[in-house]
Amino acid sequence: MKKWKGQKSCVDRRYSLWKRTCVRVCVSAGVRTSCLFAMAKRLQARRLDGIDHNPWVEFSRMASEYDVVNLGQGFPDFPPPDFAVQAFQLALSSDYMLNQYTKAFGYPPLTEILASFFGKLLGQEIDPLKNVLVTVGAYGALFTAFQALVDEGDEVIIIEPFFDCYEPMTLMAGGRPVFVTLKLSPTQDGELDSASNWQLDPTELASKFTSRTKALVLNTPNNPLGKVFSEAELELVASLCQQHDVICISDEVYQWLVYDGHQHISIASLPGMWERTLTIGSAGKSFSATGWKVGWALGPDRLLKHLRTVHQNTIYHCPTQGQAAVAQSFQHEQARFGQASSYFVQLPEAVQRSRDHMVRSLQSVGLRPVIPQGSYFLIADISDFKSKMPDLPGDAEEPYDSRFVKWMIRNKGLAAIPASIFYSMPHRKHFDHYVRFCFVKDESTLQAMDEKLQRWKTELRP
């Protein structure tokens, strides 16, 4: 094997630099360059093992390749409210200093309004400097929280079905996910299922806590099921967290999106929970502007100071203008809190109508929706299809719901997301008969969905 001059020093450099340098050296030394890449050191960090596959990539690609009504990914296809758009326009055109960095842990008017707004809701004195961290979306808050608090070997309890990033975030931090599955209580014949029938089994939940449990992830209203955890369920979670000295990471991005008079309760507002809870929120979901990517984590300084350490060594600053727009939007909401003119009152009313529209429409072809109490989503039971057409194309190992969604995209022009991806690997096979639909859509999108379903219905006729 030929060696070339400088080999040792160039492998220590960044990969691209190494490649460029080595190619130059080897070519001049007369070595074939195709042999170089086999000699590269392991590239990816071990923390990426097992988390490189992301089902969203495949389903989003398929949805863009076919002529579909896209009810897959969770984003509104209607504009944010005028006051929020105007706030962003003002942020772009008023103070030119908003083009520059702001305070690392959040633009002061935003941390101040978040502190006063959520202080009232949580019944807590919130210090904008110590108890609020502004992040790149709720995703950023979650990532920062896992990195800051989960250590090698720590166990993290995740209630499934779960927003799928909790598992890889736990793994990347070196933790071990421990899953507890919501149990479905049977419905009467013919009755539609409701997300409220999916419940925590208290004994099973208690059995998941060990001396290694560091955190529990709660998501209410839940994605993908739309379950809004009841006060009794939150009290159960709270008492177990306190008993076992466990932190609660509470993802509440859909907190304004609750229907049928259900009430969202923040677990941090329960006695003894503020001190051990991170409450995570999203301006994207609050103001129907998911592309703004402004999120936050609220919590006691003893937890937030560690999130600040991660933040200052990773992202450091979030974009200033988006934060200014969100600050002003919250000021608008604070002045109207609970009133008919509040967006946080109007949005759920409008979205509930879209939910009801979708529920009626999906039933027309034999999809059986589980009525969500909150969030952007519902899951629909496809068991009837599974028994009538079990052999849909696809790999035998591929869960049925995944094959069903691909079939639906290709043949029915409707894109959704298989619900099994919201379960841990060992449990996926038990939950491969649901698909998730997003109903936070404009009336025109829902009408386009109806046309596709109408065609599907006529094809069903004998």
For the CB of residue 369, give the shortest distance to ligand PLP in the complex, in Å: 19
Taking the C-alpha atoms of residue 449 and residue 437, their distance in angstroms, rounded to an integer, is: 11
For the CB of residue 293, give the shortest distance to ligand PLP in the complex, in Å: 6
For the CB of residue 308, give the shortest distance to ligand PLP in the complex, in Å: 19
Taking the C-alpha atoms of residue 33 and residue 453, their distance in angstroms, rounded to an integer, is: 55
Q: Report angle CA 137, 241, 255 to the nearest 5 degrees.
A: 35
Taking the C-alpha atoms of residue 223 and residue 225, their distance in angstroms, rounded to an integer, is: 5
Token pair belonging to 298: 């609220």
Q: What is the DSSP secondary structure assignment for residue 194, as one 8-state letter?
A: B
- DSSP element (H, E) containing 87: helix 82-93
Of residues 365 and 380, the one with the C-beta less far from ligand PLP: 380
Of residues 18 and 166, the one with the C-beta less far from ligand PLP: 166
Of residues 284 and 418, the one with the C-beta less far from ligand PLP: 284
For the CB of residue 221, give the shortest distance to ligand PLP in the complex, in Å: 8
Of residues 276 and 293, the one with the C-beta less far from ligand PLP: 293
Of residues 162 and 404, the one with the C-beta less far from ligand PLP: 162
For the CB of residue 325, give the shortest distance to ligand PLP in the complex, in Å: 14
Burial 382-413, CB ≥16 within 10 A → b, else e: beebbeeeeebeeeeeebbbbbbbbebbeebb
Question: In this structure, which amino acid lies at residue 418?
Answer: P
For the CB of residue 137, give the shortest distance to ligand PLP in the complex, in Å: 2
For the CB of residue 5, give the shortest distance to ligand PLP in the complex, in Å: 49
Taking the C-alpha atoms of residue 289 and residue 157, their distance in angstroms, rounded to an integer, is: 30
Taking the C-alpha atoms of residue 139 and residue 128, their distance in angstroms, rounded to an integer, is: 21
Sign of the alpha-carbon torsion through 203, 204, 205, 211 = positive
Taking the C-alpha atoms of residue 220 and residue 194, their distance in angstroms, rounded to an integer, is: 15
For the CB of residue 315, give the shortest distance to ligand PLP in the complex, in Å: 13
For the CB of residue 378, give the shortest distance to ligand PLP in the complex, in Å: 14
In the bound state, the residue with its beta carbon closest to ligand PLP is 137
Taking the C-alpha atoms of residue 202 and residue 10, their distance in angstroms, rounded to an integer, is: 57
Residue with tokens 């894109």: 415
Of residues 219 and 445, the one with the C-beta less far from ligand PLP: 219
Residues in the chain: 462
Helices 301-312 and 137-149 pack at an angle, to 10 degrees, of 110
* CA distance readout (Å), 61 to 65, 238, 393: 6, 40, 18
For the CB of residue 161, give the shortest distance to ligand PLP in the complex, in Å: 11
190: left (phi over 0), alpha (psi -120 to 50) or beta: left
The residues binding ligand PLP (CB under 6 A) are: 74, 137-139, 163, 219, 223, 251, 253, 282, 284, 290, 293, 295
Of residues 73 and 197, the one with the C-beta less far from ligand PLP: 73
Of residues 170 and 282, the one with the C-beta less far from ligand PLP: 282
357 CB burial (10 A radius; 0-12, 13-18, 19+): middle
Of residues 162 and 400, the one with the C-beta less far from ligand PLP: 162
Cis peptide leading into residue 221 (ω within 30°):
yes
Of residues 180 and 365, the one with the C-beta less far from ligand PLP: 180
For the CB of residue 157, give the shortest distance to ligand PLP in the complex, in Å: 16
Of residues 324 and 453, the one with the C-beta less far from ligand PLP: 324
